[in-house]
Amino acid sequence: MGRHVATVDLPGPVLTAAGCAGTGRELAAYGDLSALGGFVTRTITLRPRPGGPLPRVVESPSGLLHAVGLQNPGLDRFLATELPWLVRAGARVVVSIAGETVAEHAELARRVGQSPGVAAVEVDLSEPDPLDWGLVETREPMASGLVATRIVATCRRELPRDVPVLAKVRPDPLRVLDQALALVEAGVDGLVVGHSLPALMPDGRHAGLSGPSLFPVARRCVAEVHAGLPTLPVMGCGGVATADDARAMLAAGAVAVQVGSALLADPTTAHRISAELAAEPAGGDGAADGAGVPA
């Protein structure tokens, strides 16, 4: 059941979402990473980041609140340790990156693109609170020349042609198509539609909200982009927790889904969904049916 994202043929339609499956070693205890469509790394920045204060994750009736602060070892250590391990484990590695400047994105893309075994790069353009974390503020990317489009154009230029650049965008159904059109013009090869929504921790700190409440919103975003740009590969991300969720996301036009916070509740979720979809007869995993945008 191959799935094409630009030049890359994913072995299946279920990937992990950035930051939700640790370094890969944690998830590998529960299933073979090569059995998934891909493994998206936590977001990697140029310099190491210690992460935010505790608690970083709080359950709520609306979903998972989190303020991890993009904890990661920085590019040098990631390339020396985490990436080679993931490649040896047989994972289709999608490296998530974020920078403090456009120039940092250029360096991240260039060095990640030169590293063997990278299937694609996912640019995190949609952190719920980018300024909290010192990242470039990428809102309002609808007009070319603005920062999100410059970041994507820069990454595209720095990466080898056979390494697709994906952009991860906010689940904002009324603006996502405009954003997608601008990013396509900038050279993006595919989109990840859906991220945590900006929220507050119970103690008032800025946080992201993830989980089931995002699902219908992310699905609507996928449908909006698919209706306007039917050939653009789109991965749906937000609240996917069951094979039925994945089927519904694929039916709305996604080429694949990413499983995020459901992995924190049950680390076997992505493997289980993947196996359920693979067991279906060909074509039964929900080819786009034009579902989604009501008249």
Ligand X SMILES: Cc1cc2nc3c(=O)[nH]c(=O)nc-3n(C[C@H](O)[C@H](O)[C@H](O)COP(=O)(O)O)c2cc1C
Contact residues: ligand X, CB under 6 A: 17-20, 42-43, 57, 64, 66, 68, 70, 96, 124, 168, 194-196, 210-211, 214, 237-240, 259-262
Please say which residue, 209 or 251, places its beta carbon nearer to ligand X.
209
- DSSP letter string, 142-183: -STTSHHHHHHHHHHHHS-TTS-EEEEE---TTTHHHHHHHH
| Nearer of residues 26 and 162 to ligand X, judged by Cβ | 26
206-210/197-200 β-pairing: antiparallel
Residue nearest to ligand X (CB): 19
CB of 3 to ligand X, least distance (A): 18
Which lies closer to ligand X via its Cβ, residue 70 or residue 223? 70
Cβ(46)–Cβ(107) below 8 Å: yes
The least CB distance from residue 197 to ligand X, in Å, is: 9
Residue 119 half-sphere exposure, CB side, CA atoms within 13 Å? 23
Nearer to ligand X, 237 or 288 (CB): 237
Closest separation between CB of residue 240 and ligand X, Å? 5
Considering the complex, state which of residue 113 and residue 171 has its C-beta at the smaller distance from ligand X.
171
d(CA 277, CA 69): 34
**Distance in Å, CB of 162 to ligand X, minimum:** 23
Euclidean distance between CA atoms 245 and 273, whole angstroms: 9
Are 214 and 231 within 8 A, CB to CB?
no
Smallest distance from the beta carbon of 282 to ligand X, in angstroms?
27
Q: How far is the CB of 171 from ligand X (least distance, A)?
A: 8
Q: How far apart are the first and last CA of the chain?
A: 32
Identify the CA nearest to 12 among candidates 290, 273, 288, 289. Answer: 273
Cα separation of 82 and 89, whole Å? Answer: 11
Closer to ligand X at the Cβ: 57 or 102?
57
